[in-house]
Amino acid sequence: MSNSPISPIQNPWNSQGQLSMPEYRQGSPNNYQSSSSSGFPRQPSPGAVSVGPDGASIPSSLSGVNRSAWGQRSPTPERGSLKYQPNTNIRLLIDDKIERRMTMTSNTLVKDENALQKYREAAKKTNDPNVQLDYAKFLINMIECHDASVGNKNNEQINNSNQENYNKLVGEICYWINSLARKDNPEAMYIKGNWYEYGKFGKEISQDKAFRLYLSASKQDFPKAIYKVAQHYEKNKDVKRGLQFYKKSASNGDVSALYRLALIYLLGDLKTETDYNQALIYLKSAATKANEECPNGAYVYGMILAREWDKAEIPDQVVAPDDHEAKEYIQRAANLGYVPALYKMGHCYEYATLGCQFDPILSVSYYKRAAEKGDVEADMALSKWYLCGAEGYFDQNEALAYEHAEKAANKGLAAAEFAMGYFHDVGIHVPVNPNQAIAWYEKAAEHGNEDAKQRLARGGRITRLDHLNNQNKLKNERNEKSNKDCVIQ
């Protein structure tokens, strides 16, 4: 995960290859972070219902037959025969704003050339730089949405049909941004600086040119440019000016600067002394103002309220633990598409923590979104869900269990490599293959997986019958132990 304070999910399979049902932990989710084995999901009670975070109905992309929109090979499971009757009018908003914006922009630009032409003519006729800048930003958003939407399509087809129009739009963007930057428009200078920093819109990467543009824009108190200048000074070990510009950017409301200052005072960065009171002032402001560019503050503040942030131990007198508020802030970050928050919400609905009701569908949905963004721990969590299933919600699916474990294993996750060994050892979705099992166990052992080391040392193999017998025993226990975790030990 990216910069995530959350600990990796632990290996669900140990060297014995047996299923057991340990006591369900009612305490803090910290328990799962240090445990030697992470639980398979508890089975729901018949009355379990799904809830989401924000007070509206579940969108069609998450309901019924439309769940396949999450991915053709790995759809979100259905609720089986249970009637879905949520007791609250709540909607899952994962990346909803971003996707709506992309869809709206794409439809407006691509399908309504007249609307675009009217906007273009208005920008040409006016002397108002704000109108011209808004038009340029609209085009930039259009190009970015286009690039994101065609990533998996045939490039030759795209080039033949759209490249000429695409190039015209890029040229138009460059014209307006360059023109406005020459007139010292601070946001245009910031945008052009961003192009030089990251090599966008035909610019070769040049940190010097980027910094000069950021510095010029910062002199007109443009918050994002001030933040970039602060980053430059920090990178170049100019601690005093770095801190000065971070504070100036934060005073102008920049969320990234607020979050960076919070970390500075939480961790004692930039040669400052830790000051938890000051840090929490900055952090709560960053959490409240969290946006798509910087959702981190909401996640970290929520984790601190949940007592699960492991970078520093914040005294209770500075900020009191509050699971309800913790969930709200983590949910806010998840709604903005922040991967660690998506994973955490998946965990909350899997284990009914932080005030979340147990809900396999929402848990899988959050994990699925995190996995789509490249999170290997989420793929591992999905593998466990599909291997075990959720009675009354969805059946086990060995093919999907294998698919998600394989994805995580191919990215080097040791627990997933062990899982692949287990699958080949037992014959889950694939024929029994002791050689493949040993190869995966060896790979996992090389990456430090202790269970893999034990399996290699013990020798022998786990039979399919052993696996099925253990699963049957577990199913018989589920009705009696609704507050237990399903794990392979």
Q: How far is CA 340 from the centre of its chain?
A: 5
Measured between its terminal Cα atoms, the distance across the chain in Å is 26
Task: Sort 179 into a burial class: Cβ within 10 Å, 0-12 / 13-18 / 19+.
Answer: middle
Q: Give yes or no for a contact between 266 and 283, defined as CB atoms under 8 angstroms apart.
A: yes
DSSP state of 489: -
Tokens of 391: 């009675």
Smallest Cα–Cα separation from 356: which of 320, 319, 331?
331
List the beta bridge partners of residue 20.
487
List the beta bridge partners of residue 394.
390
pLDDT of residue 463: 77
| Residue burial 45-57, b: 16+ Cβ < 10 Å; e: rest | eeebbbbbbeeee
Gap between the Cα atoms of 472 and 19, Å rounded: 10
Nearby residues of 10 by Cβ (< 8 Å), 6 or more positions away: 32, 35, 36, 37, 38, 415
> Rounded to 5 degrees, what are φ and ψ at 145?
-65, -40
What is the residue-wise DSSP string for 288-312? HT--SS--HHHHHHHHHHTT---S-
pLDDT tens series, the chain, 489 aa: 444 333 333 333 443 433 332 332 333 333 333 333 333 333 333 333 333 333 333 333 333 333 333 333 445 555 443 333 333 333 344 444 445 454 455 445 445 678 888 888 999 999 899 999 999 999 998 888 877 766 545 454 455 557 888 888 899 999 999 999 999 999 999 999 999 999 999 899 999 999 999 999 999 999 999 999 999 999 999 999 999 999 999 999 999 999 999 999 999 999 999 999 999 999 999 999 999 999 999 999 999 999 999 998 898 889 999 999 999 999 999 999 999 999 999 999 998 999 999 899 999 999 999 999 999 999 999 999 998 888 889 999 999 999 999 999 999 999 999 999 999 999 899 998 999 999 999 999 999 999 899 889 888 777 777 777 766 665 454 334 335 444 443
pLDDT of residue 117: 86
Q: Give yes or no for a contact between 287 and 301, defined as CB atoms under 8 angstroms apart.
A: yes
pLDDT of residue 473: 61
Amino acid at 200: K
Nearby residues of 290 by Cβ (< 8 Å), 6 or more positions away: 255, 296, 297, 298, 332, 333, 336
Q: Which residue has the tokens 């009191």?
A: 320
Gap between the Cα atoms of 394 and 371, Å rounded: 19
Distances (CA, A) of 266 to 52, 227, 232, 283, 293: 31, 19, 21, 9, 21
pLDDT of residue 18: 36
Gap between the Cα atoms of 463 and 351, Å rounded: 30
**SS3 of 416, please?**
helix
Gap between the Cα atoms of 103 and 142, Å rounded: 10
Q: What is the pTM of this model?
A: 0.74
Q: Give yes or no for a contact between 355 and 324, defined as CB atoms under 8 angstroms apart.
A: yes
Nearby residues of 381 by Cβ (< 8 Å), 6 or more positions away: 9, 343, 346, 347, 350, 367
pLDDT of residue 212: 97
Domain ranges of the chain: 1-94+375-489
Q: Give yes or no for a contact between 19 and 338, defined as CB atoms under 8 angstroms apart.
A: no
Q: Give yes or no for a contact between 464 and 17, defined as CB atoms under 8 angstroms apart.
A: no
Gap between the Cα atoms of 26 and 23, Å rounded: 9
pLDDT of residue 54: 35
pLDDT of residue 299: 98
Task: Sort 5 into a burial class: Cβ within 10 Å, 0-12 / 13-18 / 19+.
Answer: middle
Nearby residues of 324 by Cβ (< 8 Å), 6 or more positions away: 354, 355
Q: Longest C-alpha distance within the chain, in Å? A: 80
Beta strand pairing status for 19-20 and 487-488? antiparallel
